[in-house]
Chains A and B, each alone.
Chain A
Amino acid sequence: MGKYPAEFLKIKMPLIELIDISKSYDGETVLDEFNLKIKENEFITLLGPSGCGKTTTLRILGGFVTPDTGKVIYQGKDITNLAPNKRPLNTVFQKYALFPNMNIAENIAFGLKISGKSKEYIDDKIKYALKLVNLNGYEKRSVDSLSGGQQQRIAIARAIVNEPKVLLLDEPLGALDLKLRQEMQYELIRLKKELGITFLYVTHDQEEALTMSDKVVVMNQGYIQQMGTPEQIYNEPENAFVADFIGDSNIIDGVMMEDRVVKICNHIFPCIDEGFGRNKPVDVVIRPEDIIIGKPGEGTIDGVVTSNVFIGVHYEMCIQAGGFEWLAQNTTSYPVGTHVSMRVVPDNIQIMNKPQSEDEEAMALDE
C-alpha cells in the first residue's frame, strides 16, 4: 500500500466525521460528545431504541439540527453550520415527504430543476431512477394514487437522482407492513450496490439493521454502545444492553472462576473467554437458539419446561433451572412439565464485565 500514497490516504480519511457532538433539548441531553467516522461506500446503520439520539444524529448530518458543541466534517471540510440546501447529502424521510402538489416525475425532478439541469438530462434521470426503483411508467401518476411502499421508492428515487455522496435514510421502512419491509430491505441492498454510494440508515428494528448493514452502530441514551459488523454485534455483544437489544438472549449473573470457566446458577460451564481474573462477577449472555436440550442428566444443568410456544420455525420454551428462567429455542417440542437438561457449546457463551454504575453502563464503550 505504501506504493500508492494517494489511495492509501483516501482509504484512511473518513468521508464524514462527527467530532464531540453534543445536543440537548430543554436540558435533556440527547447526544453527549458523540463521535463517529463514516467511510466512503459503507452501509452504516444507527440502531437503538427511540430517544437514543439516532435520529438527532441524522438530522445534524442533514443540517436540520445544529449541535450545541462539536463539529461535522465532510471530506475534510467543516460543514457544521452549512444550510441543508448547500449540503451534498440527501435524505429519505420516514413519512416519505413527497410533494403532494406535484406528480411523480415532478417530484423526482425537483432537485434537478433547482440545480438548473437541462430538460433532456432531467427526463433521462427520471426514467433511470424509476427503472432503478422498479416503477417504470409512473411519471404522470399523482402521489395519492401510490401505496406506501411505492411512495417510499419514489422518495428514494427523488433523493438519488441528485447523485448525493451520502444518502441519509430515517427509518424509511417504518410505516410499511412486514412483507413489504422485507422486500424493500433487499431492494435497498441492491440499490446500494448499484449506486456505490454511502448509506447512513437509522432504525430501531434490529433485524433490519443486521440484514442490510456493513456496519451497525448500537446507540443508547446518546452514547455508542457497540460498533461492528452485524455478526460481531450479534455474536459478541459487548455489554448487556446490546445483548438484550439485539435478538432474544438470556442475560444471567455469573462468576468467572478462572480463565475459560464460568459458574452460572451454581453449575460450571466451560467457555472460551480469558483475562477476567479469578472469582470475578460477570454478565453471561447465551442466545436461546444456542441452548442444546437433552434428557435429564445428559447436560450441564437440569430443569423443567414451564412454557412452550410455537413461533414458526421453532418452539420457544421457558425452562426453569437453577433459580433462573432460561429462554430456549428448539425445533423439537418439549411439552410443559418435561424434565430436561441443557448444555451450551463453550463458543456460544459470551462473557461481559458487569458495569460498575449506571453511568458506566451507558459509557462502557464510548471510545
Chain B
Amino acid sequence: MNKKQLFSGPFLAFILCGTLVPLGVIAFYGLTDRSGAFTVDNILSIATPEHAEALLLSLGLALISTVICLLLAFPLGLILKDSKLGQKGFMVFIFILPMWMNFLLRTMAWQVLLEKNGVINNVLGAIGLPALEIINTPAAVVLGMVYDYLPFMILPIYNALIKIDKNVIEAAYDLGANYRQVLSKVIIPLSLPGIVSGVTMVFVPSLTTFAVSNILGGGKVNLIGNIIEQEFTTSFNWNLGAGLSLVMMIFIIISMALIEKFDRNGEGNLI
C-alpha cells in the first residue's frame, strides 16, 4: 500500500461504517419480517392506499417546492451576477445566512407566524384584511420547504452563473441575439449544471422531510417521510419503516436519473 492509498483509509472507513453498513442493515430490516424471515411485503406495502397517497403527496409537494425555488433562485442569480454587490458575494451571503440557523428553529418560527392567532394574522386583522388560513395545510408545508431549502438552490445556480465568461455572452449579442435568445441559448444551457445540483438539493430533502410537515402540517399533512418516521418511533415496526425507506431510495434514484437525462438532452434547447 503506497502513501496515497494510506491517506484514503479514513475515507474508506467512513464509507464502510457510515454508508455501506447502515444501508445493509436497512436492506436487511426492509426485506425481513419481525421473526427475521425473508419477505417482500414491506416493499409491496407502498401500494396500500394510505402509503401510495402519502408518496404521491410527497412527490407533488416536493415538485412544487422545487419549481418555486427554481423560479425564485434563477432570476435572483441573474440579478446578483450583474450587480456590484452580488459580485462581491455580499448579497449571496445575506441570502444563505438563514442556513446558519437551526433548521427546526426556522420552521417553528413559521409556525408561530402562520398560526390562527399568529403574528401575520394579527397584522392582517389590524389593517382589516381577511385572515390567512394556511397553517396545517399543504400550502404551509410548501412554504416551509421553500423557505428552508431556497439557499440550496441559490448557491449552485449563482456559482454556475458567475462562472459564465462575459465574453461568451457578449459574443451572443454580437452575433445578433436578443436578451431572450441569449438567455435560452447561452446562459441557461451554461448554468444547467448548477440548476441540476440545485434541483437535486431541494427536491431530495423535500421528498423525504418529516420535520417540516410535522411542524407546519400539524399532523394533517401526511407525507411518506412522516409515515416512515411513525413506523420507527410510534409503531416500532422497523421492518416496514425500512422497507418504505428502500422504496423512497428507489424513487430518488429514478428522479435523479431523469434529471441527469434531462441535463444531457437539454443541451442548448432547454426552453
Contacts and interface: CB of A to CB of B under 8 A. Distances in A.
Interface of A: 62-64, 83-86, 89-91, 93-95, 97-102, 106, 110-111, 114-115, 155, 158-159, 162
Nearest to A91: B174
A286 to B, nearest CB: 42
Contacts of B168: 97-100
B165 interface: yes
A90 B186 CA distance: 18
A93 B190 CA distance: 19
Nearest to B190: A101
Contacts of B174: 62, 84-85, 89-91, 159
Contact of A106 (B167, B190, B268): B268
B267 interface: yes
Contacts, number: 68
A68 B173 CA distance: 22
A93 B171 contact: yes
Interface in B163-179: 165, 167-168, 170-178
A72 to B, nearest CB: 15
B167 A84 contact: no
B86 interface: no
Contacts of A158: 171, 175
A90 B170 contact: no
Interface string B195-224: 000000000000000000000000000000
Nearest to B170: A64
A122 B28 CA distance: 60
Interface of B: 165, 167-168, 170-178, 181, 185-186, 189-190, 192, 267-268
Given A84-B173, A110-B172, A111-B175, A101 B267 contact: yes
Contacts of A64: 170, 173
B175 to A, nearest CB: 4
Nearest to B182: A85
B171 A99 contact: yes
Given A62-B174, A89-B174, A114-B177, 18 more contacts: A84-B174, A85-B174, A90-B174, A93-B167, A93-B170, A94-B167, A98-B168, A98-B171, A99-B172, A99-B185, A99-B186, A101-B186, A101-B189, A102-B268, A111-B176, A158-B175, A159-B174, A159-B175
B165 A95 contact: yes
B165 A110 contact: no
Contacts of B189: 101
B153 to A, nearest CB: 21
A155 to B, nearest CB: 8
B267 to A, nearest CB: 6
A247 B268 CA distance: 47
The residue among B167, B178, B181 with the most chain A CB atoms within 10 A of its own CB is B167
Contacts of A162: 175-176
B190 A85 contact: no
B191 to A, nearest CB: 10
Nearest to A89: B174
14 contacts: A63-B173, A84-B173, A85-B173, A89-B174, A90-B174, A97-B165, A98-B168, A99-B172, A100-B168, A101-B192, A101-B267, A106-B268, A110-B177, A114-B175
A158 B174 CA distance: 11
A85 B178 contact: yes
Contacts of B172: 99, 110
B167 A97 contact: yes
Nearest to A59: B170
The residue among B165, B175, B192, B268 with the most chain A CB atoms within 10 A of its own CB is B175
Nearest to B189: A101
A115 B176 contact: yes
Contacts of B178: 85
B176 A114 contact: yes
Contacts of A89: 174
A98 B167 CA distance: 9
Nearest to A83: B173
Nearest to B165: A97
A64 B168 CA distance: 13
A334 B177 CA distance: 62
Contacts of B190: 100-101
Contacts of B267: 101
Contacts of B176: 85-86, 111, 114-115, 162
A303 B185 CA distance: 67
Contacts of A98: 168, 171
A84 B176 CA distance: 7
A167 to B, nearest CB: 11
B185 A110 contact: yes
